[in-house]
Amino acid sequence: MAKKYSGSERRQFLRISHSVPLAYKVCKRKTVWQLLQGYTSNISQSGLLCKIREKVKKGDLLWLAFDHATLTICHNLEDRALIYQNGIIGKVVRVTHKNNASFDVGVQFVTREEKDLAHMYPKMHLSEKNRKA
């Protein structure tokens, strides 16, 4: 039986409340060409919580871009995260629907240390040549 943690913080890294604009793309063949907008709610070295209007599913890959000042909040983020075309790649780990037609989405950053990234590449459609006219 798993031991239940009763403390206030269960995460490996401290999350910092930080609300700034966020640009993102859903890494799917049909949607990757759409640059979408949202806001971060909090951020840590391992991920972030953001508010967006588009529905995404757990396991979806996102390309995320935000200002450099946000990156400096989490030292070592650039050293650990998988960066592609000046954005960070993250995996959706939690989706909560809100009453105002928006979603709170928990995103875990994909790291360079992950042993096998090959499972991820078939899901990523980041190239402009994949864009359908």
| Secondary structure element (H or E) that encloses residue 50, with its range | strand 47-52
For 91-116, the pLDDT digits (tens) are: 999 999 988 789 999 999 888 766 45
Return d(Cα 56, Cα 38) in angstroms, integer: 13
60 is written with which tokens? 């979806």
Q: For residues 92-102, b (16+ Cβ closer than 10 Å) or e, as one string? A: beeeeeeeeeb
Find where tokens 């039986």 sit. 1
The yes or no reply on domain 16-128 and CATH 2.40.10.220 is yes
Q: What is the pTM of this model?
A: 0.74
Ordered by start, the domain boundaries in the chain are: 16-128
pLDDT mean over 33-41? 93
Return d(Cα 39, Cα 47) in angstroms, integer: 14
